[in-house]
Structure 1
Amino acid sequence: MNILDAAYHTVHDFLGGASALASRLGIKSPAVLNSKVNPNTHTHHITLLEAVKLMEITGDYRILQEMCARLGKVAIDLPDIPESQRDTSLMDTFLCIGIKKGDISALFKEMMADGRITQGEALDMARVIHEMHKALSELNQQVQSCVHP
């Protein structure tokens, strides 16, 4: 199976199929959802947010599992620890910083590939550094708001 097949089967194996899922996903009609998950259709595509919502609604994680398989990764269920009360927005912000660091590293590698830095490359780097600053500032604000007196 591949990612596109996983999306198709997630929709079609769900009780009621696209008819039961389309409106819950905020998609106009079952026909549009069918097109979005049809591996042979090149005009409609399921978005990442729709894929996540689809997995949340159906409890079917084949899309995630196929993504992991393709990338050589695994996904495991996190333990449910009620006393931890994970703050997912804080965790999302923290993980976003790691992603932005990766963006900076990738851009730096690309920028240095020819041994010189153009004005455009410098502007691109300034842009991703600015995004990192914003993410760090947001993380700082969220951490400060979580401090217990």
Structure 2
Amino acid sequence: MNIIDAAYHTVHDYPGGANALAPRLGIKSPAVLNSKVNPNTDTHHITLAEASKLMGITNDYRILHALNAEHGKVAIDLPQIPECRDTALTELVLNMGISGGDIQSVFKEMMLDGRITRGEAVDMSRVINKLHKILAELDAKVHACVEGKEKA
């Protein structure tokens, strides 16, 4: 799905569609919102700010996923970290290699014969995606610790 179709479906699949969303987006007329997401209309376009607000209101991230897919990227949810425990943070860092898989070993194994098969690429993607999640969790925990200490 391309980003234009994703925007269209985000609006039209939402309960109440453009009628419900236009006022919440600060757009005066549902007809204008319909025009902004209509793939056949060249005169009106949804802005990046409107697309971001639309995703926030609807909790529908098809626009983001379509944009990522267009550029060969992915988006992941950041974990919710309610509190900071220094031991948990330290444990996460120390166990990162174990939990995330050994990317160097996977890479070395993949390159042994001088070519990369589809299966090897998929294996590497799994390790990378697992590391993305672990690094996102680490990032959130570090920021939670800073925010927690600033409040104290």
Q: Do residues 5 (structure 1) and 5 (structure 2) align?
A: yes
Residues 23-69 of structure 1 show CA distances to partners (whole Å, capped at 9, x for unaligned) of: 00000100000000001111100000100000000000000000000
- The one of the two structures with greater contact order (alpha-carbon pairs below 8 A, sep at least 6) is 2
Aligned match of 1:74: 74
Once residues 6 and 83 of structure 2 are traced to their aligned partners in structure 1, the CA distance between those partners, rounded to angstroms, is: 35
C-alpha distance in structure 2 between counterparts of 1:30 and 1:82, whole Å = 39
Is 2:28 the partner of 1:28? yes
Give 5+ residue unaligned stretches, structure 1. 85-145
Q: What is the rounded CA distance, in whole Å, between the counterparts of 1:83 and 1:53 in structure 2?
A: 28
What is the match of residue 16 of structure 2? 16
CA distance in 2, matches of 1:16, 1:23: 12
Q: How far has the Cα of 1:82 moved from its partner?
A: 2.1
Runs of 4 or more consecutive aligned structure 1 residues displaced over 4 Å after TM superposition: 146-149
- Are 2:22 and 1:44 equivalent residues in the alignment? no
- The 5-angstrom pairing of residues 87-102 of structure 1 reads none
**Aligned equivalents of 2:18, 2:83: Cα separation in 1:** 38
Q: Over aligned residues, Cα RMSD in angstroms?
A: 1.7
Show structure 2 runs of 5+ residues with no match: 85-146
CA distance in 2, matches of 1:37, 1:82: 37
Alignment map for 1:105-144 (pairs within 5 Å): none
Say which one has the larger Rg. 2
CA distance in 2, matches of 1:83, 1:26: 36
**Secondary structure of residue in 1 paired with 2:75:** coil
* Matches of 1:55 and 1:82, distance apart in 2: 24
How far does residue 19 in structure 1 lie from its aligned partner after superposition?
0.1
Q: Distance in 1 between matches of 2:68 and 2:82?
A: 27
After TM superposition, the score normalised by the length of structure 2 is 0.55
CA–CA separation in structure 1 for the residues paired with 2:16 and 2:3? 21
Deviation at 1:16, TM superposition (A): 0.2
Once residues 69 and 17 of structure 2 are traced to their aligned partners in structure 1, the CA distance between those partners, rounded to angstroms, is 25
TM-score by length of 1: 0.56
Q: Distance in 1 between matches of 2:12 and 2:3?
A: 14
Alpha-carbon distance between aligned partners in 2 of 1:9 and 1:27, rounded to the nearest angstrom: 18
Counterpart residue number, 1:121: none
